[in-house]
Structure 1
Amino acid sequence: MTQAPEHAIARPANPAPAAQPATATAAPVRKARPNGQWKIDGLDPLNHNEEFKQESAPLLVRERIENIYSREGFDSIPGDDLHGRFRWWGLYTQRKPGIDGGRTATLEPHELEDPYFMLRVRVDGGALTTDQLRTIAGISNDFGRGTADITDRQNIQMHWIEVESVPEIWRRLEAVGLSTTEACGDCPRVILGSPVAGIARDEILDPTPVIEEIQERFIGDPSLANLPRKFKSAITGHPSQDVVHEINDISFVGVEHPELGKGYDLWVGGGLSTSAHLAERLGVFVAPEEAADVWHGVVQIFRDYGYRRVRNKARLKFLVKDWGAAKFRQVLQDEYLGRALPDGIAPPPPSAENDHVGVHPQKDGRFYVGVAPTVGRVSGDILARLADVVEQHGSGRIRLTPHQKVVVLDVAGEEVKSLSIALREIGLEARPSEFRRRTIACTGIEFCKLAIVETKEAAATAIDELEKRLGDTSRLKPITLNVNGCANSCGRIQTADIGLKGQLVLGDDGEQVPGFQVHLGGGLASKDRDTAGLGRTVRGLKVTADGVADYVERVTRRFEKERSGDETFADWAHRADEEALR
């Protein structure tokens, strides 16, 4: 769905009544402070975010963008639309150039922002045709100064967008089946999907029909457009578990049940940011034909029972933590599905690398080729040339990955070598160095109003240096490096072998300079230890932005010297003494 109906509303039509007060004979009980849970506390908004969502349904701002703001300009946009409802259509104001990271927390949003927008194109499952890719490239070049980044949510983001251009951008996107509907905001955001869905030889099942059903039935649905905060989904049928399922609000992971056949294991309540929680298994088996209904049930639980009073506690992970998996399953079954779900089985450990970089056979005899743009940074020109190269080699489909990578599908065997060479010429490498392959970075201070330090260029510079200094590091097993510009972990710092969280640090002269706090030993899907997949921090361990390559080289060489057998970096980092990690 691309446009909300005119009757869109901001609250459920028939919310459950609030909890009943104590009887007259009971001893006086002081009422607990409400959490803003609609089914318990009622619908009264407890903060301004909740107020503006009820005053005017966010999806309806599209009409004002098209008919008022795009004609009258940036200064005509009132604050609640600009800083609130615009997000439901993939629009955030971007950071004004020249404001250093030390002022991020002290300035008001209007002081930080430029009269330009980041525009996020929603790409569910990461699936794009070359026509769609070429359309995005044209928008980038015509309206976004050539900017384009592939995110770790399988979206594409552009910058420097003016509100006057937005209706034409929507027209172009929707003409090729794309949209920005609910790409941001307190709503169901993009659905992560396996980049090799439907083509991988070792796939358990293809999640594409489930993704498409959720899109068709629920994206843009007014009854789901006022959630406590964002709702992130992921679904994969590939045994490599390639959608970072442990850190999404809801994830479906493909399994083959010994009695019930192929279906999904259900996980809920994952999320990082400043309070990281890994998702919990509900212990149920979800048949493919029931997956969309189960997804709907979980998102309704979040809508009706999620905490709304304090925004930094409004993610599903906090409700799951308080309720526990057993209660969450019971509420899902009793109140939202009206039936019990069968007990499920846990997925086995992942079978292989899950970023899909390199050349791999498809089940139809053709090949897919995964390539690595440096930390997801591309451009309109690169995307246009990518579309041309892909078509010249007989394909019309690509996929974006949750690791800021690109996968070209349906490549005939005789075209693989030529395609790989052509992709290398535009900066997309099918055989990248380990650090170029395994480093991701968020947007950073270049455009983000929350950021404290620059990320993309810092990461790219470090990669160049590490390639020179360390050469081929494949002997060390994968070492992932994630770089984030603030504490919010869009770059998943807690789950990397080396995670860098942007902050101001003291330089050699005692003055504050851009730098990073270091997290070590995180990981998802492939870690078999008691650390719950999250990295450790060492007191006082920080690096300056221009010292990233020096630190990574130093700790990598120390790991190589001290590792035991085939020990991974993460396992070593969790057992090493603090001095070895400095």
Structure 2
Amino acid sequence: AGRSLQQGNGMLVAQKQRGYYMVQIPLTLGDIKAEVFHSLADIVETHGEGLLHTTQQQNLALSWAAESELPELLQGLDTLGLGGSRPAVLRDMVACAGASTCRLGICLSRGLAEALAGELSQDGLDLDSLGELKIYISGCPNACGRHPVAQIGFYGVARRVGSRLVPYYMLLLGGMVEEGKTRLAQPVSTILARNVPSFLVEYLRSFQNSDKYPDFEAFLDGKGRKIAEDLALSYMEVL
């Protein structure tokens, strides 16, 4: 069991039924190539309950996988490039379709998600220590990207700068969905769209450099919101 859990790298969730697991299969913003999907279907057909479920994190899930079949199942997923090598904060990042295909979209939310993943991966942050930090992005104030329940949420807005409409994102902090603790994220400040990746890296670094707070929720309840407000000021203006 220990070896299987280690191989799962965060993909496995123990079910209430002893000896069975739900296997979370990570996708990038819900995308999967047709040929990979066909091969995945062949694997799923002979493992667990034989059915795939979609998740609110834009991933896939297979339930009722017996502990004895985990090594073969996880190896098959690795072969398809669907292993759990990405940190959870990147694996579970959510973005709506955005302005590229949605008529209501103001900003390119999927593009921002890709930029955030790239910036976070290259900046030397300890992403594993962030755990399952929820970063959700919507291309407009509508909640298709689930930003109201994100620990760090963004939604697209437009601001007039001179004669131009310029894309910005509203930053929200503190959302949570948990029994007895559910709350909506609260708006903090707008940030110029192209500056959001740099802002987020600097903000998360300030959290990781603080030894005073055991987790991100404690950081927000302490000085985290004020730090975000102050930091956002330097990322608001068009240069």
Q: Is the 8 A contact 1:502 1:517 kept in 2?
A: yes
Alignment correspondent of 2:236: none
Q: Extract unaligned runs of 5+ from structure 1.
A: 1-356
Against the structure 1 CA distance between its residues 575 and 488, is the aligned structure 2 distance closer, same or farther, given a 3 Å change threshold?
Answer: same
SS in structure 2 of the partner of residue 378 of structure 1: coil
Alignment correspondent of 2:187: 537
Deviation at 1:557, TM superposition (A): 0.8
Alignment correspondent of 1:516: 169
Deviation at 1:485, TM superposition (A): 0.8
Alignment correspondent of 1:213: none
Give the distance between the partners of 1:506 and 1:435, measured in 2 at CA.
33
Alignment correspondent of 2:43: 389
Deviation at 1:516, TM superposition (A): 1.4
Following TM superposition, the consecutive aligned residue runs of length 4 or more in structure 1 with deviations greater than 6 angstroms are: none
Give the distance between the partners of 1:472 and 1:411, measured in 2 at CA.
31
Deviation at 1:575, TM superposition (A): 5.5
Choose the corresponding residue for 2:13, options 319, 337, 360: 360
Alignment correspondent of 1:556: 204
Against the structure 1 CA distance between its residues 522 and 575, is the aligned structure 2 distance closer, same or farther, given a 3 Å change threshold?
Answer: farther
Give the distance between the partners of 1:488 and 1:513, measured in 2 at CA.
19
SS in structure 2 of the partner of residue 517 of structure 1: strand
1:221-236 alignment to 2 at 5 Å? Answer: none
Q: Is the 8 A contact 2:89 2:130 kept in 1?
A: no
* Greater gyration radius: 1
Q: Is the 8 A contact 2:199 2:232 kept in 1?
A: no
SS in structure 2 of the partner of residue 445 of structure 1: helix
Choose the corresponding residue for 2:132, options 478, 483, 497: 478
Q: Residues 461-507 of structure 1: CA distance to partner in whole angstroms, max 9, x if unpaired?
A: 32133122244323244321111011111112122121111123578
Say whether 1:376 aligns with 2:26: no
Give the distance between the partners of 2:172 and 2:145, measured in 1 at CA.
12
Against the structure 1 CA distance between its residues 578 and 366, is the aligned structure 2 distance closer, same or farther, given a 3 Å change threshold?
Answer: closer
Deviation at 1:581, TM superposition (A): 5.1
Q: Is the 8 A contact 1:438 1:480 kept in 2?
A: yes
Aligned-residue sequence identity (percent) comes to 25
Deviation at 1:395, TM superposition (A): 5.0
Give the distance between the partners of 2:76 and 2:197, measured in 1 at CA.
29
Give the distance between the partners of 1:375 and 1:395, measured in 2 at CA.
25
Against the structure 1 CA distance between its residues 427 and 525, is the aligned structure 2 distance closer, same or farther, given a 3 Å change threshold?
Answer: same
**Aligned AA (2:169):** F
Give the distance between the partners of 1:577 and 1:440, measured in 2 at CA.
21
Give the distance between the partners of 2:76 and 2:12, measured in 1 at CA.
14
Deviation at 1:450, TM superposition (A): 0.9
Against the structure 1 CA distance between its residues 482 and 515, is the aligned structure 2 distance closer, same or farther, given a 3 Å change threshold?
Answer: same
Normalised by the length of structure 1, the TM-score is 0.34
Q: Is the 8 A contact 1:452 1:503 kept in 2?
A: yes
Give the distance between the partners of 1:472 and 1:416, measured in 2 at CA.
28
